[in-house]
Amino acid sequence: MLSLASIVALLVAAFFGSYVIAFVRNVIATIGCGVRTVWIPFHHNHPIWMVMAPITRYWLERNLPIWIWKRIALTIGCHEMFMKREPYQDLKTDTYMLVTAGQNELWTSDPEVAYDILKRNKDFGQHPLSIKILSMFGPSLATSDGEQWSKQRKLITTIINERVSKVVFEESHRQANLMASELAHSDVGRQGSASLDGLKKIAINVLSRAGYGIPASWDGPTSEKYATTQSSSLRLDFVTCVKTAIDNLIIAALASPTLLLRLPAWLPGAHRLHMIGHAQQEYPVHARARVDEERAMLSDPAKQGSRNSIISQLVLNSDSNSSDSKSAGLTETEVFGNLFVFTAAGFDTTANALQFAIVLLAIHSDLQTWLYEEVLSIIGPYESNTEGSDDIEYAAIYPRAIRCQAFLMEVLRVHPPVVHSIRINKSGKTQIIKTSKHTIHVPVNTAIYTDSNAVQTDPKIWRGLNLPNFNGKTGAGVIETPEDVVERTQDEYRFRPGRWVMADNTLFKPPPGSFLPFAAGPRVCPGQKMAQVEFVGVIMTLLGRFKIVPNSRHGETERETRDRMQSILDDVRSELTIVMQKMNELDLRWEERVSV
C-alpha cells in the first residue's frame, strides 16, 4: 500500500507532468511555423499567474536577471502597454510565436500580418471569453460566426447610418453644453480630476438617446417613465440597469444573478453585487418593454421616418413574431444582444478617449490654440446669451472639423483604449499567412494578438509623417535602433495630431493594418463613425467655451507640472479599456474664454 507521502509525490508529479507534456506538445506543434519562437516552459494562462503577474511585475523587473525578465514579461497580461516595441527589437523580428505550457500565442507588430488576420473572418474567429461576455443578453454581430454573422452584418451596416450620426452629434453637443454649464456655475471646474467624471456622464447620456431613444438631462432621464421602474417588482430603472451592467461587465457576464442576489447583505461589496444581479435580471424586461413601445410606434408608417435611434432601427429590421435565428430579420434576442453590445462597446472606449484627450490638452496648450482656431472658423465664438443652444448642424460642421478629427486619431494612436485584438485559429487546420516578409504557419487553436501599441508606433509608417522640415529618413528607409524603443523620443512616440493633416487639408489614410483602434477587415467596429462624431461634438463644444489649465503645485515650474501630468497619463492599467491608475491625482481647471 502506498504511503501518504508517495501519494502526494505522485499527485505532484502528475500535476507538473501534465504541464511538461503540454509544453512539449506545443513545441512540436510550432516546428516550422516560419517565425521566431520564444519558449517559456510554464502555464502562463493559469489563473493564479494571470492574477499575480501584474501585481508582482515591478518586483520581478527589479530582481530577475534582465534576460529572464524580458522573457517572463511576455507572459504578463497587457505587457505591450509598458514594453511597446521592445520585444520585437530584442527578438529582431516583427512577429513571434510564444510557446508555453498554456495556449500558443502568435504576436505581431507587422501591419501586413495584422490586416491579413483581421480580414480572414472565417479562418480566425473570436475568442471564446469575448463571446461569453458580449452575449450575456443575446447573440449579436460581435459574437456570431458563419451565416448568422453574415445576416447580422448586412442588417447592422444599414442601421448605423448618417441619421444615427446626426443624432449622436447633436446629443453630444447638447450634453457637452450641460457639462459646460456645470463647470461654469459650480466648483466642479476647479476641483482637479472631478470634472473628468462628467465625460463619462456625457458618454452614457449620448448612448441613452442614440441607442435607446431615451433623452437624458444632466441629472437623469428627461422622461419620468424612464426614470422609474415600470413594475413594482423591478428595483432598477432602465438607464441604471444599462450603466450597472456596463460598469461591471465581467462580473455580470460570468456570475449567476441568482447567486449574486442570494449573497448576505453583511458581505463587503454586497450592495454592488446585488445591483449587478438586479441589472442582469431586469435588463431584458426593460429592453422588451422598449422594443414593444418602438414596435407600436413603427406600426404607424407616418412615424417611421422620425424614429432615428438604434433601437428603432433594430426593431424595424426585426421579425417581430420569429424566434428562428435563420429568419431574414433579427430575432428578439438578437435585438437585445446587439443593443447591449453597441452600448457596452461605445461607452468605455469613448469616455476613455475623451478623458485622455482632456488631459493631453491640459499638457499641450499649443494644441488647444490649434484646435480652437478651427472651432472659431466653423461655429464662431461662444456667446453667453445662447448658452445651452442645440442649434448645431452635423452635416455642415463635422466634415469640416479636420483638426478635431486628427486630434481624435492621434489620441487613439498613442493611447489606444484596447491594446490588442485577439483572434483564434478555430478552423480545425493549420492556417497559412503570406506577406511580403513572411510565410507563417498558424497551428490549430493558436491565439493571435495584433499589438496595437507596436503597430501604431511603427517608424516606417509614423516617423516624420507630415512633419515640416523633417530631415530624417521616412518610410521603408527607416532603421529602428534599440535606443529608439527604449528611450521613445523619436517622432513616432510623440503626441502630434498634425501628422494626420495632409497638405490639402484632408486626413491621412493609414496603410491597412497600421491603425487598429476600431479593428479592421469585415469585423471592423460598426460604431466607428458614432464614436468619432461624438468625440468631435464634445471637444468642439467644450473647447469653444473653455481653456483647460493644469494646476501647479507649490514651487513647481510649468515644465514640471506638465511632466507630472504626463507621468499620470502614462501610468495605466488594463480593465475593459486602458485607464489611468492615478486619475484622482490629476489637478486641472477649466477657465472660461473671454468673449471679445
Give residue 161's Cα distance to chain centre.
21
User: Rounded to whole angstroms, how far apart are CA atoms 596 and 406?
Assistant: 28
Give the number of other Cβ atoms within 10 Å of residue 272's Cβ. Answer: 14
Give residue 523's Cα distance to chain centre.
15
DSSP alpha helix (H) spans, 213-256: 224-227, 238-247, 249-254
Q: What are phi and psi of 13, to 5 degrees?
A: -65, -40
Q: Is 525 annotated as a binding residue?
A: yes
> 3-state DSSP call for residue 140?
coil
234-262 b/e with 16+ CB inside 10 Å = b? bbbbbbbbbbbbbbbbeebbebebeebbe
* Beta-strand pair 588-592/546-550: antiparallel
Q: How many CA atoms lie within 13 A of 22 on its CB side?
A: 19
Q: 593: closest CA among 273, 426, 371? A: 371
Q: 219: closest CA among 204, 236, 234? A: 204
User: Rounded to whole angstroms, how far apart are CA atoms 520 and 525?
Assistant: 8
DSSP-assigned states of every residue in 271-286: HHHHHHHHHHHHHHHH
Question: What's the residue count for the chain?
Answer: 596
User: Rounded to whole angstroms, how far apart are CA atoms 379 and 189?
Assistant: 23
- Any idea which residue has 444581479 for its cell? 277
**What does the DSSP 8-state code read for residue 515?**
-
For residues 43 and 19, the answer to whether their CB atoms sit within 8 Å is yes
Radius of gyration of the chain (CA): 25
Binding residues for heme: 525
Binding residues: 525
